[in-house]
Structure 1
Amino acid sequence: MRVGDSIASIRNICAGAVLATMSAGAQAYAGDDVIPSVVDIPSGWFWQGSDAVERQYAYQIDEQVYGHDLSRRNRWYDIEGDKWRVHLLGYHIGKTPVTNDQYAAFISDTGHPAPEMSRDDWNRQGLIYNYDTIQPFLWSNGKPPKGRGNHPVVLVSWQDAEDYVQWLSQKTGKTWSLPSELHWEKAVRGPEGTFYPWGNIFDPELLNSGDRGPFDTMPVGQFEPGPYGLYDGAGQVFEWTSTSAQAGYRMVKGGSWDDRGCGVCRPAARHGRPEHLKHILIGFRVMYRD
């Protein structure tokens, strides 16, 4: 057996174990129709950002898993700034990231380019993943990959996500948008400012990350929801926000199925990515105000 075949076999075994655990555990979220379902986030205060204790914890768990201090040396989490109280008016935000099926309705209705990508276009982005890695995520003839309708849509740029919310606004008569970093963070972590949606200790059993597999996206809503009822706020896929990181970059939040540790999966973690980027680790969710 080749090394690649051996790794694939191990990953398949892990994936099966994860799905079996999900079936035996909390009831999975069943999914929505074409229009994303939302949860209501009440007006009020919440703790945004992190303090030195949380950042130290994030660096330590990264070092334990990866065996090096790259995140600390590059000061990845220092940009989070000190924890502070923020008041936001109420709003409604997607219960899950937008799925392939939901995005397919937009593609069908508008003729917008689907998440298809040539080898040259992918390689031009300069990412560490080779083109073969992205095959399971690629659409074909405007259709999502078979069996992945309820997975988060990926390989979408920030502008693709913006175009989707404009279509959704026209479709529903509501003014949808991408959440700002603040709106996203409050919705995911709740008002108390915990390190993760479930508390202050990282638990790989509570999210889709690279710590336990299946080393891929999963159907949305397979883990317990956060304080306000959101699913997949930690792990699964990074999510585009409306918040600018620097010229031509936007903040993405939440970590992904490929991250281990998972310091970057904390709601306070901040990560800027180019607006034009189409990545297998990045999707989005949507929100609107009354």
Structure 2
Amino acid sequence: MRKNTLSKHYHSGKKRNFFKKRTFIFFIGLILGIAIVVSAYLTSVHFSTDESCMVCHVHPHVEDSWKLSTHVNNGSGVKVSCVDCHLPPQNDTWDHYTAKLKLGLKDVWGYMTKDSADFDWDMKSELDHAVKYIPNQSCVKCHQNLFPEGITSDGITAHLYYEENEKKLNLQCISCHLDVGHYNPNYTHSKLTGIPGVTFGVTIDPSMYFKEPTKVNAFEDFEEQIPGTAVTVAMKAIPGGTFQMGSTAKEPFRKEDEGPVRTVTVSPFFMAEIETSWDQYWAFYAQTMSEGRIPPEDVYANNSNPEVDAISGPTPPFGFPDQGWGGGERPAITMTHYAAETFCQWLSQKTGKKYRLPTEAEWEYAARGGTETPYFFPGSPKDYSNLGFWRKIFDAKTDSISPYVIYTNNSRNRTQEPSVVRANPFGLKNMSGNVMEYCADKYDEKAYSKWAEQVTDPLVTEGEEWVVRGGNYASDASELRVAARDYTKHDTWLKTDPQQPKSIWWYSDIRGVGFRVVCEPASAIEQ
């Protein structure tokens, strides 16, 4: 009996010691865990200071531009730190700390392994880059009131439109306020909104608006004045002539739809020196924009009625049309073929001349500028293209082609201003590269084979898609050949458009398409 009692006491004591050890280990582990969490938090706080951010972020102007921005230099006396903008709010704990960990590791790795002298700082200042590192919920947390004291009437209009159409627009605050965190004296966010009632670009004194279009007395270059605006269009006189349209089987990278070669005669015409610019397109938009969503059938009916004076222009863009690349003389992009045609209709109405899109034959004739080679400048597509086996060993030549075209090897993946390239023999810029250009023709891959061997002023009117010519900023040199043909992919280019029915004005999934205008001499030259 005594032995059993001793055995029970022994086992009971052993259990108590076991539980004491487990409790001790638990508390030690708890204390260590708390210590680790606190240490990690304190470390996180330490490395979230502006000074710590500046250690890795060696952009030569980042600190100065931040100090000049409205997030630091403002009337309220509130300073917004780096983490306030570049991380999700702390109340979103998981998102905040996982984002901090990812960015922290990325920054440290980049600081240790990369040379800041190799960075493309201009690209990193663009909207495409900024939206990746500015969580919209951080902006909303600080700016809970979209209509603060002192906001302008244009700002109220823009914010009301944003508030009512936030999901459809799919915009972030940074999309229209790119300069608030890092000051940029050349940035004007009002240019970029694309919202009714908001001024595009610098306000112009109405007394500077043109009252009459340009009078043309001879077939020579002229600068069109668009009445009611301060905008002009430089037009080049393109003499009529006969040329060989298409490419032979010997031309490198030639495709079947480029032949057979035909002898084509085109009548004289005027053609815009550059692709239709944002300055020109916004002038059209400002005078014709449709307030809200108008059924496409109503727009078509209005614009096809010759008795209607007012043209129905584009509805507000559902995105960011210029992609943050800039406006001015950069080519207007993302508009549909119908929008380009409507621009021509508006320009014709404003000037009393006949403006339209070029036919495919006119476009190729003008692009060649009297030459008969793959490009209007010397060189073989094989030398300039990135395609082919040898390009795995040797780089393509760029020195001879880059002065004339904006393409994949020099564009930095966006459009450029026309001033950076040289003109072709007819004085036209960017006929190849920068953006693809709409033509008046429907696309038919066998169009040339249906023509006679000699043809005058041909125009293809049957087909599902429209011809686009010239390649764009993302094109390989092989696609910039003067004879190269392409066409619209309407449904694909509208795939992510949230509207039903889809927009007739703006494409949601193509950046590198635009247009330039031609003018018929008979309508322009005064007798």
Aligned mate of 1:212, from 407, 410, 417? 410
- CA drift at 1:15: 7.1
- CA drift at 1:197: 1.9
Corresponding residue for 1:88? 266
**1:10–1:239 Cα change, 3 Å:** farther
Equivalent position SS for 1:268: coil
Corresponding residue for 2:475? 259
Corresponding residue for 1:234? 432
Cα offsets for 1:186-234 (capped at 9, x unmatched) = 1111223221121343444131101123221011232111121100011
1:286 aligns with 2:517: yes
Stretches of structure 1 lacking an aligned partner (at least 5 in a row): 17-31, 60-76, 119-134, 139-144
- CA drift at 1:4: 11
CA distance in 2, matches of 1:197, 1:91: 19
Aligned mate of 2:239, from 19, 22, 42? 42
Corresponding residue for 1:273? 488
Q: Which has the higher contact order (CA 8 A, sep 6+)?
A: 1
In structure 2, what residue type is equivalent to 1:90? P
Pairs within 5 Å for 1:60-75 = none
- CA drift at 1:83: 2.5
CA distance in 1, matches of 2:368, 2:325: 33
CA distance in 2, matches of 1:146, 1:13: 14
Aligned mate of 1:162, from 327, 341, 352? 341
CA distance in 2, matches of 1:137, 1:9: 28
In structure 2, what residue type is equivalent to 1:12? D
- CA drift at 1:117: 2.6
CA distance in 1, matches of 2:346, 2:240: 27
CA distance in 1, matches of 2:118, 2:466: 35
In structure 1, what residue type is equivalent to 2:413? F
Q: Is the 8 A contact 1:241 1:250 kept in 2?
A: yes
- CA drift at 1:287: 0.1
Equivalent position SS for 2:120: helix
**1:249–1:49 Cα change, 3 Å:** same
CA distance in 2, matches of 1:9, 1:187: 41
**1:256–1:212 Cα change, 3 Å:** same
In structure 2, what residue type is equivalent to 1:52? A
Q: Is the 8 A contact 1:257 1:281 kept in 2?
A: yes
Equivalent position SS for 1:102: helix
CA distance in 2, matches of 1:227, 1:115: 38
Pairs within 5 Å for 1:106-117 = 106-111=284-289, 112-113=313-314, 116-117=317-318
Greater radius of gyration (CA): 2
Aligned residues: 232
Q: Is the 8 A contact 2:321 2:333 kept in 1?
A: no
In structure 2, what residue type is equivalent to 1:253? R
In structure 1, what residue type is equivalent to 2:250? V
In structure 1, what residue type is equivalent to 2:322? F
CA distance in 1, matches of 2:433, 2:122: 17
- Give 1 or 2: higher strand fraction: 1
CA distance in 2, matches of 1:150, 1:256: 16
- CA drift at 1:13: 5.9
In structure 1, what residue type is equivalent to 2:434? Q
- CA drift at 1:36: 1.7
CA distance in 2, matches of 1:171, 1:46: 34
CA distance in 2, matches of 1:50, 1:11: 41
Q: Is the 8 A contact 1:107 1:113 kept in 2?
A: yes
Compute the TM-score of the two structures, normalised by the length of structure 2.
0.41
Corresponding residue for 1:12? 120
In structure 2, what residue type is equivalent to 1:150? E
CA distance in 2, matches of 1:196, 1:284: 20
**1:115–1:174 Cα change, 3 Å:** same
- CA drift at 1:114: 5.8
- CA drift at 1:82: 2.7
Corresponding residue for 1:173? 352
- CA drift at 1:167: 0.1
* Runs of 4+ residues deviating >3 angstroms: 1-6, 8-11, 13-16, 274-277
**1:4–1:192 Cα change, 3 Å:** farther
In structure 1, what residue type is equivalent to 2:487? G
Compute the TM-score of the two structures, normalised by the length of structure 1.
0.72
Identity level (%): 28
Q: Is the 8 A contact 1:14 1:214 kept in 2?
A: no
1:249 aligns with 2:465: yes
Aligned mate of 2:279, from 96, 101, 104? 101
Aligned mate of 2:374, from 179, 195, 201? 195
CA distance in 1, matches of 2:328, 2:429: 17
1:137 aligns with 2:322: yes
In structure 1, what residue type is equivalent to 2:443? A
CA distance in 2, matches of 1:198, 1:269: 15
Equivalent position SS for 2:410: coil
CA distance in 2, matches of 1:99, 1:37: 11
